[in-house]
Amino acid sequence: MKRISPILLTLCLSLLFCSQAKAQHYGPYVGAFFGGNLLMPAKSTDDLGNFKLSFNPGLQGSGVAGWDFAPDNPVGQGRIELEYTRRSSPLDKVTFTGGSFKGAGNLTADSLLLNFFGVLRDKSPWSQYAGVGFGAARMTASDIKVTGQSLASGSSVVFAYQLGAGVDYAVTDYLNLDLGYRFFGSTSPKFTEVDGSKLEMDYYSHNVVLGMRVGF
């Protein structure tokens, strides 16, 4: 054991030194993210009054292209990126004043956002970030039903935004793994019901994502 311990200590110190020696990437990058989203119960309104749409957890995928700021830039440490995301949320139930009924169909959000993230870095390969994004989303209601009867369909383009935070790990100078949380919201999308009236609803979702960014 007396011979092994110095070897282990040397190896640990070497790994620590190597991780601290990683240079910060700056310049362009691309990335991909996958995860899950939980759409909050949506307060909804039509010509007959108010009701609530509840959704099951769904999946999402994102592609990003951005720029890591150089350490000595006047803006500060961080990055700017353009992000496309598709979120899918299956309808679970519809709640009226008289009770809850089984729902069916799917609500899809395709968003394009410009994100700004501030990054807290040190000599460790780990870093933390937080930021905001603004843009637009195309909401699509696909065959939304209540107890088997068609309720609404169609699409609506709305203003969208998100708040984000997370941690990433620098595998190399050009490859980062990223675990993050996003709160995504929009102005109220409007859809057409079967009788021609308009359905208006809230859209707010919690999202957890895992992905990678590759610099070049």
For 127-163, the pLDDT digits (tens) are: 999 999 999 999 999 999 999 999 999 999 999 999 9
pLDDT in tens, 161-197: 999 999 999 999 899 999 999 999 999 999 999 889 9
* pLDDT for residue 106: 96
172 vs 121, more confident: 172
Query: Where residue 74 falls among pLDDT bands split at 50, 70, 90?
Result: confident
Report the pLDDT value the prediction gives residue 112, as an integer from 0 to 100: 98
Q: Is beta strand 78-96 parallel, antiparallel or unpaired with respect to 42-46? A: unpaired
* All domains in the chain, ordered by first residue: 4-215 (2.40.160.20)
For 41-71, write each residue's pLDDT tens digit: 999 999 989 999 999 999 999 999 999 998 8
pTM of this structure: 0.86
Average pLDDT over residues 74-87: 93
